[in-house]
Amino acid sequence: MDLIIKNGTIVTAEATFKGDIAVKDGKIKAIGAKLDPKGHKEATVVDAKGLLVLPGAIDGHTHLEMPFGGTISADSYEAGTRAAACGGTTTVFDFVLQDFGENLVDAVKRRDALCAPQACVDYAFHTGVKDLSGDLIESMEQSVKFGVSSFKVFMVYDFGVTDGLFYQVLRKAKEVGALIGVHAENKEIIDTLIAEFKAEGKTSAWYHYASRPEFVEGEADFRAIQWAKSLNAPLYIVHLANAQGMEEVTKARDEGYPIFAETCPQYLYFTNEVYKREDGRNFVCSPPMKGKASQDALWEGIKRGDITTIATDHCPFQSYEKDWGKDDFTKIPNGCAGIENMFPYMLSEANKGRITFNKAVELCCTNPAKLFGCAPQKGMLVPGADADIVLYDPKKEFTVSVNNMHSDYDHTIWEGVKLKGYPVATYSRGKLVYKDGEFVGKKGDGKFVKCKPVRHKTPNL
């Protein structure tokens, strides 16, 4: 053995038990009560007494060094994956944005060339689809065979897809074993409201929310779900932030359709009140934070099992870039930081009793692996899985500050947030990459995780 983690409390999505984990060649070799380290003199033995032993988290939604909003998001692949490691996240699904006319496999290879030399933890991709004209739609199948089996369509932004293309993509995805994620908001209504607010001189960050209120997202969720239902195709609503959409997801799942939803820590912690703050522009992301009723509906959805994953939508920008929109909210690059905060925040909520630790593991580790086709390699503590392991001290008090994060951005929306418990060590394929506040891994060590085709036919994974 190379590594034996002893005396910890092992937490999986299903169970909590005292036990030891043995690791060999980057894989979990055995899990059991009192594995004997004597026969493994060469192994590093770690005493995890008093700690929880968890699978590394999977962040299913990040935008690292992505050209967007007139600039490039502030975390490079190196900085973003370094920060991920320090927050207990050992696999990052980043978004490739297809160029117009580009084959989807070429798009992935283009991003991988940038990511591979920098990655500090393992990574996979979803591809944001812009153009499937001519025979480009066939490259969806090529992409699935290449190991990227999930795509995102945007109903907003200047590269958003038409309803017709969205429908075609859903149909093709079902045929080739892919999952479609959707950014659901109504672009026409947003554009109309923005024009009206600007004409009235209403340009503060609050009007970012006011131009994208609850129903703008909810009715787009409803439409997207109707199209997926009509094809019985799986659909994944990313960054769900509103109560009406939550209701539609629940309804479709109760009817037996393979509809899945992701929400993000920022929607679970902040409300639209943040847009009234002096630094409100720093919280501008799309969809925006919503009212308390929506936040409560998301927490209820988590408890009911109708939210399948938590991910961050990590897309930070520097303060000077956010400041472009000081006097005009439409000039604020959309996106916020979160890659290092997701697992600690969800575990802290578990530690405070809002959900169980098993639920936090299900949402942040096991479900994304099952949903995106990388289980049981990722997201689980089982023999044969990659030894992506987090040691978590439930007694450690932690206050988030930009000064104790490991990204390249210069501010965080999580500044000053107090967490109960915190990760103290992260192992990526058996190798220590984070210990007691410090990144101890190496850039370039992260590997591309190729995902299998996914053929979800019911809401159960």
309 binds ligand URP (CB under 6 A): no
Q: Does residue 65 belong to the site contacting ligand URP (CB under 6 A)?
A: no
Of residues 335 and 421, the one with the C-beta less far from ligand URP: 335
Closest CA to 365 of 406, 315, 308: 308
Radius of gyration of the chain (CA): 21
Residue 75 touching Zn ion (CB under 5 A) = no
Answer yes or no whether residue 205 interacts with ligand URP by CB under 6 A: no
In the bound state with ligand URP, the residue whose beta carbon lies nearer, of 262 and 306, is 262
From the list Zn ion, ligand URP, none, which binds 53 (C-beta under 5 to 8 Å, kind-based)?
none
Give the residue carrying structure tokens 């439930």: 394
Q: Residue 32 corresponds to which tokens in the numbers above?
A: 């059991």
Q: Is 313 in the site for Zn ion (CB under 5 A)?
A: yes
CA atoms within 13 A on the CB side of 348: 22
Choose between 215 and 439: whose C-beta lies nearer to Zn ion. 215
Task: Please select the residue that binds ligand URP; options are 60, 301, 335, 338, rule is CB under 6 A.
Answer: 335
Tokens of 179: 């999952």
Q: Toward ligand URP, which CB reaches closer, 263 or 377?
A: 263
Q: Is 63 in the site for ligand URP (CB under 6 A)?
A: yes
Nearest residue to the partner Zn ion, using Cβ: 183
* Residue 131: DSSP 8-state: -
Q: What is the DSSP string of 332-400?
A: SPP-B--TTTHHHHHHHHHHTTSS-HHHHHIIIIIHHHHHHT-TTTSS--STTSB--EEEEEEEEEEE-
CB of 313 to ligand URP, least distance (A): 5
Q: Which residues, 350 to 379, sit near Zn ion by CB under 5 A? A: none
C-alpha–C-alpha distance, residues 116 and 160, integer Å: 28
Q: What is the closest distance, in whole angstroms, from the C-beta atom of residue 157 to ligand URP in the complex?
A: 7
Looking at residues 241 to 280 of the shown chain, list those that interact with Zn ion (rule: CB under 5 A): none
User: Please, are residues 49 and 80 in contact by the beta-carbon 8 Å criterion?
Assistant: no
Contact 104, 128 (CB under 8 A): no
- The token duo for 339 is 């890659």
- Among the listed residues 216, 315, 347, 363, the single contact to ligand URP using CB under 6 A: 315
22 binds, among Zn ion, ligand URP, none (CB under 5 to 8 A by kind): none
Q: Does 183 bind Zn ion (CB under 5 A)?
A: yes
Pick from 94, 141, 306, 313: which binds ligand URP (CB under 6 A)? 313
DSSP H or E stretch at residue 416:
none
- Catalog residues that contact ligand URP under the rule CB under 6 A: 63, 183, 285-286, 313, 315, 334-335
